[in-house]
Structure 1
Amino acid sequence: MSASTFPPSRLSFAARAVSVVCLAWAGLSLTVHSGPAVATVAPGTAQVAWLPAAADADIEKAFAQGKAEGKPVLVYWGAKWCPPCNQLKATLFNRQDFIERSKSFVAVSIDGDLPGAQKLGSRFKVRGYPTMILFNTDGAEITRLPGEADAPAVMNVLQMGLAGGRPVKTVLAEAKAGKPVSPNEWRMLAFYSWDTDEAQLVPEAERAPLLAQLASSCPATEAETATRLLLKALAGQAEGDPKAKPVITVDAALRERVKKLLADPAATRSQMDVVVNFAPSLAEALAPKPGADRQAMVAALDAALVRLQGDASLSRADRISALIGRVELARLGQPKDTLKPKLPEALVKQVRDESARADKEVTEGYERQAVITSVAYVLGQSGLWKDSDALLQASLPKSHSPYYLMSQLAGNAKKQGRTAEALSWSEQAFNKSEGPATRLQWGASYVAALVELAPQDEAQIEKTVAQLIREADGQQGAFYERSARSMQKVGDKLAAWNAKGQHKAVVERLRAQLSPVCAKLPAGDSQRASCDNVLKKA
């Protein structure tokens, strides 16, 4: 996730609540029904007994507890500023049914800014916030929970995993080999968090073909599961290498099949997260070229999103994500960097109205961090840049992580060519950022902004990079996972900045400052190699 910009139709995906979930605990015939909101707990009442972890010893203790008590272990990896993490806190972790089920597992929370958190990220192969992994009592990974699905669906997958679920690698291998796989295991594959897989099961480039293979292999009795796998494969096909051979042959019959699903409110609701998060990709996959087929597919998707946008059983974040999907559909065929897209007036009015409503009604801190950032994004995507800026600036004093909003303000200004303002907001965001890993990430974003927008400002670039090196020197895990990527981003930007050797003296001074930092790291530690590589290209 970038510190400065994001597609909230993906990022506001976290744990959606407010539907009643009918869980047949014994038989695991788990179905989700729209309806009244599931009760949440008030602050200060019963909560999940999270075990904070910042080192391997904490994890070993949690696994030892799970083994002794015969309980699986659920690891949650997140950050204070992260909008979807805040949405999880607002709509899943505070649900009474989730809190009750948490007694069946050992709940471990890893804050990405704790001293040893990035090393743990390397251990579990997690990068994106949030990531949730369920392990069995032997420490094998059962599944990665789908933060992009709504809360009832997450509860569904969690319960299937708690009921003796086999490791996902075993299930996938048997499904690919044509061996018997239970209906619940097929559902777990369909709801697996492929976006946070980090190549644990399959390289990203091979994901769409794998999902297509699973969709075709899924038993006819599991039509809903097969449809989910197919839709995800189609979205992946559209977002992959445009030169790659399509893994799914799209014809009129397939388009009609998807349009029939989109016209069915119950079917659309069951595939809500896929439809909301991948609407433009689905339109492009099913109708690659502009024309009548594309127009018909966009119309069908938009109609489904309109229903989801008005579905009171969905969280506000999901409803806004549906609105974002509609705006992105309306932008298809226009240049992606269009500042003032041509959109239906009624749609623009809905964006304005939803923005005002959200600003007025969303007061809970976690939910606001998730919702307001998404609303500000869709305002910009609709060409309402002044409205987006005004909302973000008015929300700064209400946010527990205002630096995230400052990064969005920097992104808005940059897109509109307001260079000085973009640099100012980016600098403020870095200065206000909190937490060791977060500061490296925001600092790297500021360096990138300086190199791109003010390459002549050698003094400020050197000063900022030197500060990041000093901060990295004082951290335990500055060259693990996200932090390592932040520092490497700095190195890559400096390499581009100094491509012709015009800033060689600055780079040499920075290299001299970094070298002793790297020398302190053990030769056999992966951090040492990461540190040594930071300025190698520069």
Structure 2
Amino acid sequence: MTLKPTLLAASLSLGLLTATLPVLSHAAAPATATSQAVAWQEAGADADIERAFAQARSEKKPLLLYWGAKWCPPCNQLKATLFNRQDFIEQTRAFVAVHIDGDSPGAQKLGTRFKVRGYPTMILFTADGAELTRLPGEIDAPQVLKVMQLGLAGGRPVKAVLADARAGKKLNVNEWRLLGFYSWESDQDQLLPQAQVPALLAQLATAAQSVDPETGTRLWLKSLSASENGKGVSADAAQRERVAKLLASPTESRTLVDVISNGAPDILRALAPQAGPERTALQAQLETALKRFEADTSLSRADRLQALNARVDLARLDVAKTELYPKLNPALVKEVKDQAARADREITDGYERQAVISSAAYLLGQTGQWKDSDELLKAGLAKSHSPYYLMSGLANNAKKQGRKDEALRWSEEAFNKSQGPATRLQWGAGYVANLVELAPQDSERIEKTAALLFNEAAQDKGSFYERSARSLQRVGKSLQQWNAKGQFDPSIKRLRAQLDGICAKVEVADKQRATCEALLPKPGKAG
């Protein structure tokens, strides 16, 4: 699990942005019961999208697309801290706002169209339908508003801006900010292959520094975070000194809190790859800044918890990922326990609980407090609108500790309680994978569960697209591994026959047909 910050209380500095909109302040009030909510238009088919774009062209408004799911913690964080704010609601009236629920019929096909995978993703389009930019799930409110400002100011699509930047052409401050706040993590190779991103970010950082130092620093830190353990990074004293100066400044580090909190371990590995005085000093500087973020009450609880998560990651830097009971500073372990208990005690909003409790439980596990982690998850079941998400956490906890029967019991219950076609395929794929790994001899249960998933897939026309397709591919891969020696051929033949009937109902020209047929390839055919 990756904790994702939503830095909703950071100050908004719009600088040279030309459009004028109300600024989101720290004290912005949530929408009241009588306030009008964001006027989301629900979309589940191409016709819905085309209608929304037609409206955008007619009204000369940009279009804001939000892709999410009921259970997703970062989606719930947005609902708890951004979508319900009156100032944000007011600003969205300048856009055509479209919501795609990942579990609505046809949603996964739209996911393929827009090349979106992770929940949540927000994409901003120009009035004529060109993609201006996309925002990552951890985006904070001020960053959202900055990009919304760019949309209203008639900014150019990020693809065109990047092409000019790579060609050495001059960009203005707004255009550099578009690149600085772009969701490189969810780009899906639209702008360039993912492997080329770290080097590109470093080049952009250098070019941006003289025009917009803050964006230049943001891009530089992102390049460090994206590098593979510092590959391609010159880990010299000058770079470490630059980071140290940034971390020592409460104001400068605060504007980059999302990058620092998310990337602290990667930044440390990049600039101090070996244990020694340099790493010790830089780790202490990161620790000081992260503690400052934790104490910053203008940040959301999820953001403060992310800072604590980064501190735990730093403490575990040289600890094996499989180590269940790491030897950590007792004060840090106690702080994790105290913060988890406080979150459980104080959070009453259902959306915020969904965003925070599972993350707190994860942190308890990372610090070896497995009993407390289980108790927190169990206590949250009755309070969660999507308890199956917490049940998956309980299954993972039990699995890590070798409690196979308990892991399978929670995994099965999570699948049974899951709701929505895409979600059920995702949870079902996880259950099948656990069965194959933990109880491969239980052929009856494995076959029965796989058959149920294939039957459910047949009921949803979007099952062989995007996230649902990947869930089914995971099922197919698990089954092939399970039958690697041919010992379960009878079960596989029955499942393949079931799939053949499902695939035959898909039009030959439909790309879903090939996806379906590749799930359980016949002997002699490539998978």
Query: TM over 0.5: same fold?
Result: yes
Q: Describe the shift of the 1:267–1:31 C-alpha distance in structure 2 as closer, same or farther (beyond 3 A).
A: farther
Equivalent in the alignment of 1:194? 184
Aligned equivalent of 2:88, options 81, 87, 98: 98
TM-score of the superposition, structure 2-length normalised? Answer: 0.96
Equivalent in the alignment of 2:470? 485
Contact 2:136-2:183 at 8 Å conserved across structures: yes
Contact 2:233-2:271 at 8 Å conserved across structures: no
Per-residue deviation, 1:27: 3.4
The within-5 A match list for 1:245-324 is 246-324=231-309
The within-5 A match list for 1:131-150 is 131-150=121-140
Contact 2:268-2:282 at 8 Å conserved across structures: yes
CA distance in 2, matches of 1:445, 1:62: 35
Q: Describe the shift of the 1:320–1:60 C-alpha distance in structure 2 as closer, same or farther (beyond 3 A).
A: same
Aligned equivalent of 1:7, options 2, 7, 15: 2
CA distance in 2, matches of 1:169, 1:38: 33
Contact 2:17-2:149 at 8 Å conserved across structures: no
Aligned equivalent of 1:401, options 386, 390, 412: 386
Asked if residue 335 in structure 1 is aligned to residue 320 in structure 2, the reply is: yes
Equivalent in the alignment of 2:66? 76
Asked if residue 115 in structure 1 is aligned to residue 105 in structure 2, the reply is: yes
CA distance in 1, matches of 2:507, 2:474: 23
CA distance in 1, matches of 2:478, 2:366: 27
Identity among equivalent pairs (%): 60
AA of the residue aligned to 1:273: D
The within-5 A match list for 1:196-215 is 196-215=186-205
Equivalent in the alignment of 2:228? 238
CA distance in 2, matches of 1:103, 1:29: 14
Equivalent in the alignment of 1:356? 341
Q: CA RMSD in A?
A: 1.8
Quick check: 493-502 or 58-67, which moved more?
A: 493-502
Q: Describe the shift of the 1:172–1:485 C-alpha distance in structure 2 as closer, same or farther (beyond 3 A).
A: same
Contact 2:165-2:204 at 8 Å conserved across structures: yes
Aligned equivalent of 2:451, options 462, 466, 477: 466
Asked if residue 124 in structure 1 is aligned to residue 114 in structure 2, the reply is: yes
**Cα deviations by residue, 1:340-375 (Å, 9 ceiling, x for unpaired):** 111111111111111111001111111110011111
Q: Describe the shift of the 1:124–1:509 C-alpha distance in structure 2 as closer, same or farther (beyond 3 A).
A: same
CA distance in 1, matches of 2:19, 2:342: 39
Q: Describe the shift of the 1:212–1:411 C-alpha distance in structure 2 as closer, same or farther (beyond 3 A).
A: same
Aligned equivalent of 1:177, options 167, 184, 194: 167
Contact 1:84-1:130 at 8 Å conserved across structures: yes
Equivalent in the alignment of 1:17? 8
AA of the residue aligned to 2:516: C
Contact 1:73-1:108 at 8 Å conserved across structures: yes
Q: Describe the shift of the 1:115–1:154 C-alpha distance in structure 2 as closer, same or farther (beyond 3 A).
A: same
Equivalent in the alignment of 1:497? 482
**Cα deviations by residue, 1:239-259 (Å, 9 ceiling, x for unpaired):** 6xx8xxx33312011011111
Equivalent in the alignment of 1:454? 439
Contact 2:398-2:407 at 8 Å conserved across structures: yes
Per-residue deviation, 1:21: 3.2
The within-5 A match list for 1:504-523 is 504-523=489-508
Contact 1:118-1:483 at 8 Å conserved across structures: yes
CA distance in 2, matches of 1:455, 1:188: 50
**Cα deviations by residue, 1:503-536 (Å, 9 ceiling, x for unpaired):** 1111111000110100100111111111011112
Equivalent in the alignment of 1:27? 18
TM-score of the superposition, structure 1-length normalised? Answer: 0.94
**Cα deviations by residue, 1:488-517 (Å, 9 ceiling, x for unpaired):** 001111111111111111111100011010
Quick check: 147-156 or 86-95, which moved more?
A: 147-156
CA distance in 2, matches of 1:191, 1:228: 8
Per-residue deviation, 1:238: 3.1
SS in 1 for 2:212: helix
CA distance in 2, matches of 1:173, 1:219: 18
Per-residue deviation, 1:180: 1.6
Quick check: 22-31 or 397-406, which moved more?
A: 22-31
Structure 2 unaligned segments of length 5 or more: list them: none
Count residues in correspondence: 523
Per-residue deviation, 1:19: 4.2
Per-residue deviation, 1:114: 0.4
Q: Describe the shift of the 1:44–1:24 C-alpha distance in structure 2 as closer, same or farther (beyond 3 A).
A: farther
CA distance in 1, matches of 2:22, 2:235: 30
Q: Describe the shift of the 1:63–1:31 C-alpha distance in structure 2 as closer, same or farther (beyond 3 A).
A: closer
CA distance in 1, matches of 2:17, 2:23: 16
Aligned equivalent of 1:155, options 135, 141, 145: 145
Asked if residue 373 in structure 1 is aligned to residue 358 in structure 2, the reply is: yes
SS in 1 for 2:93: helix
AA of the residue aligned to 1:276: S
CA distance in 2, matches of 1:282, 1:31: 35
Equivalent in the alignment of 2:311? 326
Per-residue deviation, 1:23: 4.8
CA distance in 2, matches of 1:448, 1:138: 44
Equivalent in the alignment of 2:48? 58
CA distance in 1, matches of 2:138, 2:228: 19
